Structure 1
Amino acid sequence: MRSIITIKKHILINIILFMLNNLFNQEKISYNLPKTNVENIDLSQITIEETKRSFIEKHFLETLIISNSSDNENNDRFGDKDIKEKKAFQKEFTNTLFNGRIEINIETNNNEIENPPLNSIKYIWNKCINLLNQNSPEDELRKETKNRFPNIKQKKLMENLKYTPIFVIKNGFNQMIMGFPEQEFRKNWLDQLYDIYKNKYLLNTERDKYPTSFGFLFVNPNDAIELKEYIYKKYPYSSKQMDIQVYPISLQDGYKFNRTSRTRIQFRFIPDFTEISNLLSNCKNDKNIIFDPRQKYGKDYFQGQPIYQIMPFSVKQSGKEILLEYSGKIDPFTNKRKFLFTNLEGLKYAWEEFRERFPNLKLPKKPKIIVYNLESFLKDYEMNITQISEDFAIITNKTAITRTKDIANQKIYMNGVEAFSHKIYPKVLSIKVWAERMLWALKSKQAPEL
């Protein structure tokens, strides 16, 4: 019964969209196209003859053309007497650009426009709620695939990631601290309504280009601590009141956030900057370190978070050469698990322990190492294009392991009262924050400094 209602609802929405699409058809609108010198684009040059704009153009949908044409014969400008109207138009246009309500369509020949300028760029300005950007069949397929997360391959991948810690910045309510661009706070109710519709009904294929918020997933806790200290310095009152702190989560959770985030929200893996610096500066001439052919890097840049893998090595047994791989504490002759490292020093220390544990293998002092990046590795695993085994482990840096153990030990050694206090702390903090703000509002007419 529910599925029938959903189908009827979907049909009704499509009918409404069809009617609106015909109502806002560009062929039924009469207007002059502005022509702007692309080499010197200035909002003051973008003008439209107001007297010839229809009601729909003015309040719902408008097409703007920017070209390098110097033919201004039919391009009427605002006169001096329309200076207020021109400023109002510029302000509205600027805010709309910031809010992402203007779509760009690069077409040299646009059949919808009569005598379009050559090398022109068409901008569609949706002044009302954008109900015309319906998903293509390809977008619907991607949306359906995303809703089926995790698939069998992703489930296996997450099993391998759940014991590797990464770090986030959270408040006392156990909410992750997100980053928002400034224009998000300038949106009016219509922009917010537009975003709700777009997030709910559309798969925004440009979300990676124009995200509205970021969540940061740190590989090294020191980088997270540095950002936390910056937040405390910039917003001391709010940071202290909200109890901002660095907290470990599993790479499994970070991967899930990264793959299932809502439209225009991104969770980014923040690489270990110290590790990248050391890799690029100290390992240029190391013949034992090889970069994966797919890895993008240079003398002053590296794509993603570095991961290192010890390459297979050969040993002699019963007069025959056998190819083995690093196996940690497991017998290399029976091991089927792969080991990846996010820190080169940690890999070297692990190799030394491995040599001491299996002296009969007569292993070399320095292993051959191949370098890749975490983000590409995860994608390769999902797409079945990596040669790595189904079972693997990612060993993080010593600082991350130590900090995770310290926080875990604090919970383990809590007594009953401390455990109960820790559990109800978010609710107590909420009451405390609101009480402080109510008291401040009664005592002072000005808001406290952030």
Structure 2
Amino acid sequence: MGDAQSKFGADIDAPPRAQALALVIVTTISIGFLGATLLHIASSSASATSIILSEIIVVALGGMQIQVSAHVLRGRRIRWGRLFLTLQGLLAHLPHFFVGDLWNGIPGFFLGSVLFSLHGRGAWLLAGCVTVINPLLVYGVTHDARSALDGQMCTVLVGLILFAVVRLANQVRDVHALQMDLAQLAVTKERLRFARDLHDLLGHTLSSTSVKAERIHRLLAHDPQAARVEVAELIKAIRQTHAEVRKVAHGYRHLSLESELVSARSTLQAAGIKPHFSHHGVALAQRSGGTLAAVLREAVTNVVRHSAARHCVVQITQHQGATRLIVVNDRPHPAPAGDPSDSSGLQNLSERVALLGGTLLVSRPAAARGEEFRLEARLPADYPVAGMAGADDTSPAQWRLLPWKASDPALVQGNPDGVDTISGA
């Protein structure tokens, strides 16, 4: 734990340390190069006035360069930035007129300031102008082509070195900020997973427990033996829920479609709803099976809580690898105002199905004996694998609960209950 904390602390301090190191490098380059230039000028045959003036400008340029670099490394704007750079540019080129090629390379500090202070094409255009104008200026003063080319090379190298050092430090800062964002995103996704799993688990369990408790209450008066059997099942369900809650907290919970089918049938029967199941010969991978198990659990919970159903159809089919889970019940409660998909449970299921490249659809089609509620989950044959690029790149349209079209040929025509024909019973 202590090692993890120290590593996390080191990661947090990474950008400030990188910025400090970059500033030290810039300062060392500035002092070293400008100091060497001072010594060359002082030992030259230039006039005393030229030497003194050049030394003053050298000191001023060193201070300006460190100030510009410090502001850029901290992500701050320089006050009077354009005026500041203009003054630095003038000071970087003016001494060429009275010390000649002894000033070679000094304009590179201005070039570096331009590259890491300005952005876009304008910065590179201005840098290109400095690179071209500098050798022309040296040649105009010294009439020596070699000295002009040497000055150009020194200017470009100094400017690019300063730019690379500052840019690298800023890249470290940007990458660190991205890592922090990704860490926060991972925490958020884990919280959403926990909330979703908890809703799916407890919502179903509490509804099932309530139904079983009501059934036990009715049986106590005239069939105590049957009531004892129901109590034993209730205790077993509660213990299983307790174990699953622990798995949810640790992220190890995987729903089984086979177990969920058995549980769904038991829950429907306990609620006095006749189940019609059709799912023979369906083979699913663990992830897709777990997703359909969650859909089935939420659908059955909604049937028990939000309808006075007498029948419920659960049909699972596969065709060319694509899988469809259909749950239909009769006598749903009146639909609330607004979108029928405005449900946290259905929204959670929509997100789960969308992660596998599928779609969740809901509708309330009219049947011969009243309205029905229909839920369908569709999973494609091939879906993105978790952890691979594109696994979470789901468009908003896929995440939305889509309305069911009344013209769908799967809708039952002419059957009084609208359930037996769908189930194949």
Q: Fold match, TM over 0.5? A: no
TM-score (norm 2): 0.20
Higher strand share: 1
Q: Give the structure with higher Rg (CA).
A: 2
Higher helix share: 2
